[in-house]
């Protein structure tokens, strides 16, 4: 039935789209064809082993952190009843609004040798430095903690949606067979939610691999810091791109893992989407559950936000002058435009793969999704080079043929920037959409098609209504990511165009953390509103399934 032997408009269209979106990543990989220079020999002899080990440890740590926080809270909020559950179900998403490098700055400010906590300890006990043990924030474990605090919401979001969409039937069957809450969780609910959990985890890990701000500030040598050191320090862009290509190898493994976990079986759930009766946690157990939800919220959001607010108050940063409003407008417009554009692309690609699951299609879509794990700067260079080449070629042609200069048509425009966002964040949208589509039985498509519907009609009439929550999730994730995005914005933006993230970076990289707090707080605040609105909408879809 589903053979991809003859080319179809879907196949060709998606293939071409994937190729264009994969272009920046391919530009990076193309550097592998260059001979490995002596910089490589130097790297291999000195620091390469550190890069690999630290990157792996960082990933392992963040995996443990995000899984434990994300799955626990998702299960509690979706399946149990305890004090504060209604608030936690959206508040647990708030750390998403907090850029990782900002949370790193705030915790360093709090916990460093010169920070208020250690000063209090020294003054309170009359100690001086060296008399007592205190964990060093700026370390590998510190980086793991920071990234876990802000990335667990990916796991939480997807796991919670999966728990909510699980039919009550399976769980109730388990209960009638005598399985308690714990056994039901480990033997039924968690295995059923596994694809969603792994999707969330792979998003968190890809973001971890791409992180530069946190690891650089903490002095942890990873692949990302190595890429920049090689490029900026040695001035060797080729060796830096080759390092980036090796990084892509890691990412490809992640993607294969994610695919593999999903392909083990098709996870469709039948029957009415009725929410299982929640486990009522009373007394101490209820408070323990509330505490388990409060901890990640406090660590990932309340504490750093309070520190930012304190700094902003201290420096008297004016939050709402005209310039600030312009920054806010730029940030919001970019984020909304990018989120919707990326959702469209993801829908087309996910749907193309569903219609024509050929090996070529899989490869094309996978490569197009690689951008999420590539540091933004590398993507930006990958966008800049082909765009500038195209602009200059068109200009050369116009000069020769028409005697006029077209100049740079695409380079240095917002289009180039939005394109970079699409490359960088497609995976977020794509994985969310595919996870959502995957939960809809293929037999539904077949039934609709046999009733004479065209593929896009099936998408509109059958899939879109069933995926309301999924689509919102995809939009939300990209929106918040773009709001926080820094490196690509910094390199590709047009003249006289700044965003909140650029402003924060400029002040923070000048070591004016307190001055940066105003803009940082604004990113967080701008991120909160859509996070809350959308998570409420998602919550409503959850409740609707429940009735």
Partner 1 sequence: MRGLFLLPLSLSLMLATAVSAAAAPAGEVNVYSSRKEDLIRPLLERFTAQTGVRVNLVTGKDDALIQRLVSEGANSPADLLITADAGRLHRAKAAGVLQPVDSATLDAAIPASYRDPQNHWFGLSLRARPIWYVKDRVDPKALSGYADLADPRWKKRVCVRSSDNIYNQSMVAALIAHEGEEGAAAWVDGLVKNFARKPAGGDRDQIKAAAAGQCDLAIANTYYVGAMLTGADPVDRAAAEKLAVFWPDQQGRGVHVNVSGVGLTAAAKHKAEAVRLMEFLVSDEAQRWYAEGNFEYPVKPGVPWNATLESFGRFKADGLPMGKLGELNGAAVRLMDRAGWK
CB 339, min distance to partner 1, A: 8
Distance in angstroms between the alpha carbons of the first and the last residue of the chain: 37
Contact (CB, 8 A) for 184 and 175: yes
Ranges within 511-530 binding partner 1 (CB under 8 A): 511-512, 514
Query: Please, which residue, 234 or 267, has the CB nearer to partner 1?
Result: 234
What is the spatial distance between Cα 59 and Cα 7, in angstroms, rounded to a whole number? 40
Q: Contact region for partner 1 (CB under 8 A) — 196-204, 246-254, 295-303, 507-515?
A: 507-515
Q: Which member of 101, 218, 250, 351 binds partner 1 (CB under 8 A)?
A: 218
CB 225, min distance to partner 1, A: 6
Q: Which member of 44, 253, 320, 344 binds partner 1 (CB under 8 A)?
A: 344
In the numeric block, the tokens 């490869």 are attached to 363
* Tokens linked to 200: 């969330």
Q: Which member of 72, 377, 431, 504 binds partner 1 (CB under 8 A)?
A: 377
In the numeric block, the tokens 């740590």 are attached to 61
CB 151, min distance to partner 1, A: 21
CB 113, min distance to partner 1, A: 4
CB 379, min distance to partner 1, A: 12
Tell me the chain's radius of gyration from C-alpha atoms. 24
Q: Contact region for partner 1 (CB under 8 A) — 73-81, 189-197, 329-337, 423-431?
A: 329-337
Nearest CA among 362, 379, 352, 349 for reference residue 482: 379
Count how many Cα atoms sit within 13 Å of the Cα of residue 294 in the half-sphere of its side chain: 9
Q: Contact region for partner 1 (CB under 8 A) — 180-188, 230-238, 297-305, 426-434?
A: 230-238
Determine if 333 is a binding residue for partner 1 (CB under 8 A).
yes
Ranges within 19-58 binding partner 1 (CB under 8 A): 42, 46-47
Contact (CB, 8 A) for 47 and 221: yes
Query: Please, which residue, 59 or 475, has the CB nearer to partner 1?
Result: 475
DSSP state of 166: S
CB 395, min distance to partner 1, A: 6
The secondary structure element, H or E, covering residue 279 is: strand 279-280
Ranges within 441-460 binding partner 1 (CB under 8 A): 460
How does DSSP assign 59-121, residue by residue?
HHHHHHHHHHHHHHHHHHHHHEE-TTHHHHHHHTTGGGGS-HHHHHHHHHHHHSTTSHHHHHH
Q: Which member of 73, 208, 216, 541 binds partner 1 (CB under 8 A)?
A: 216
Query: Please, which residue, 187 or 405, has the CB nearer to partner 1?
Result: 405
Contact letters (x/-) for partner 1, 89-128, by CB under 8 A? Answer: -------------------x---xxx-x-xx--x-----x
Determine if 292 is a binding residue for partner 1 (CB under 8 A).
no
Q: How many residues does the chain have?
A: 547
Query: Please, which residue, 140 or 255, has the CB nearer to partner 1?
Result: 140
* Tokens linked to 296: 């990640």
Nearest CA among 388, 352, 379 for reference residue 488: 379
DSSP state of 461: I
Contact letters (x/-) for partner 1, 235-254, by CB under 8 A? Answer: xxx-----------------
Query: Please, which residue, 7 or 494, has the CB nearer to partner 1?
Result: 494
CB 311, min distance to partner 1, A: 8
What is the spatial distance between Cα 442 and Cα 433, in angstroms, rounded to a whole number? 15
Contact letters (x/-) for partner 1, 142-181, by CB under 8 A? Answer: ----------------------------------------
Query: Please, which residue, 108 or 431, has the CB nearer to partner 1?
Result: 108
What is the spatial distance between Cα 180 and Cα 167, in angstroms, rounded to a whole number? 17
CB 235, min distance to partner 1, A: 6
Query: Please, which residue, 388 or 444, has the CB nearer to partner 1?
Result: 388
Count how many Cα atoms sit within 13 Å of the Cα of residue 406 in the half-sphere of its side chain: 18
Contact letters (x/-) for partner 1, 379-418, by CB under 8 A? Answer: -xx--xx--xx-xx--x---------x-xx--xxxxx--x
CB 441, min distance to partner 1, A: 22
Q: HEC string of 331-361? A: HHHHHHHHHHHHHHHHHHHHHHHHHCCCHHH
Contact (CB, 8 A) for 416 and 384: yes
**Interacting residues of 367 by C-beta distance below 8 A, sequence separation 6+:** 18, 22, 25, 26
What is the spatial distance between Cα 61 and Cα 291, in angstroms, rounded to a whole number? 22
Determine if 507 is a binding residue for partner 1 (CB under 8 A).
yes
CB 161, min distance to partner 1, A: 21
Measured over the CA atoms of residue 197, residue 199, residue 205 and residue 207, the dihedral's sign is negative
Ranges within 294-323 binding partner 1 (CB under 8 A): 314-316
Query: Please, which residue, 186 or 232, has the CB nearer to partner 1?
Result: 232
Burial of 525: CB neighbours in 10 Å, binned 0-12, 13-18, 19+: middle
CB 465, min distance to partner 1, A: 11
Q: Contact region for partner 1 (CB under 8 A) — 18-26, 256-264, 440-448, 503-511?
A: 503-511
Query: Please, which residue, 264 or 509, has the CB nearer to partner 1?
Result: 509
Q: Which member of 190, 468, 497, 537 binds partner 1 (CB under 8 A)?
A: 497
What is the spatial distance between Cα 89 and Cα 95, in angstroms, rounded to a whole number? 13
């Amino acid at each position: 039935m589903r053979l991809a032997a003859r080319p179809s408009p879907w196949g060709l269209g998606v293939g071409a789209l994937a190729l264009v979106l994969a272009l920046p990543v391919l530009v990076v990989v193309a550097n592998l064809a260059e001979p490995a220079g002596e910089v490589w020999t130097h790297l291999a002899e000195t620091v390469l082993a550190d890069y690999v080990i630290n990157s792996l440890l960082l990933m392992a740590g963040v995996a443990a952190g995000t899984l434990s926080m994300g799955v626990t809270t998702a299960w509690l909020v979706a399946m149990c009843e305890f004090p504060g559950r209604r608030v936690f179900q959206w508040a647990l998403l708030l750390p998403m609004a907090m850029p990782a490098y900002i949370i790193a700055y705030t915790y360093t400010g709090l916990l460093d040798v010169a920070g208020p906590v250690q000063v209090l300890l020294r003054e309170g006990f009359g100690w001086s430095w060296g008399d007592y043990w205190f964990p060093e924030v700026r370390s590998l474990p510190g980086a793991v903690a920071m990234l876990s605090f802000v990335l667990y919401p990916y796991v939480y979001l997807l796991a919670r949606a999966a728990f909510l969409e699980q039919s009550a039937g399976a769980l109730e069957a388990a209960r009638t067979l005598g399985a308690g809450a714990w056994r039901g969780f480990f033997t039924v609910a968690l295995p059923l939610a596994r694809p969603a959990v792994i999707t969330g985890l792979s998003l968190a890990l890809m973001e971890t691999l791409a992180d530069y701000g946190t690891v650089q500030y903490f002095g942890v040598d990873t692949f990302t810091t190595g890429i920049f050191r090689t490029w900026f320090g040695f001035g060797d862009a080729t060796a830096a791109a080759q390092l980036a290509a090796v990084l892509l190898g890691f990412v490809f493994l992640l993607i294969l893992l994610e695919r593999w976990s999903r392909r083990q079986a098709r996870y469709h759930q039948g029957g009415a989407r009725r929410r299982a009766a929640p486990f009522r946690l009373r007394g101490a157990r209820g408070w323990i559950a509330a505490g388990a939800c409060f901890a990640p919220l406090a660590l990932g959001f309340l504490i750093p936000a309070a520190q930012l607010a304190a700094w902003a108050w201290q420096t008297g940063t004016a939050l709402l002058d005209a310039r600030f409003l312009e920054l806010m407008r730029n940030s919001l417009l970019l984020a909304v435009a990018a989120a919707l554009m990326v959702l469209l692309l993801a829908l087309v690609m996910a749907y193309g793969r569903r219609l024509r699951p050929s090996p070529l299609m899989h490869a094309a879509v996978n490569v197009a999704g690689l951008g999420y794990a590539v540091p933004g700067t590398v993507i930006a260079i990958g966008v800049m080079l082909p765009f500038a080449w195209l602009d200059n070629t068109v200009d050369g042609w116009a000069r020769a043929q028409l005697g006029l200069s077209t100049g740079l048509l695409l380079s240095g425009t917002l289009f180039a920037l939005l394109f970079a966002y699409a490359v960088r964040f497609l995976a977020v949208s794509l994985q969310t959409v595919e996870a959502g589509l995957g939960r809809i039985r293929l037999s539904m498509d077949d039934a609709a098609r046999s009733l004479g519907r065209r593929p896009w009609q099936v998408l509109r009439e059958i899939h879109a209504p069933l995926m309301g929550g999924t689509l919102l999730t995809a939009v939300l994730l990209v929106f918040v990511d773009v709001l926080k995005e820094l490196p690509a914005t910094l390199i590709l933006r047009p003249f006289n165009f700044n965003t909140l993230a650029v402003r924060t970076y400029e002040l923070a990289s000048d070591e004016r953390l307190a001055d940066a707090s105003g803009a940082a707080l604004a990113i967080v605040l701008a991120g909160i509103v859509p996070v809350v609105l959308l998570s409420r909408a998602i919550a409503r879809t959850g409740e609707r399934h429940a009735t």
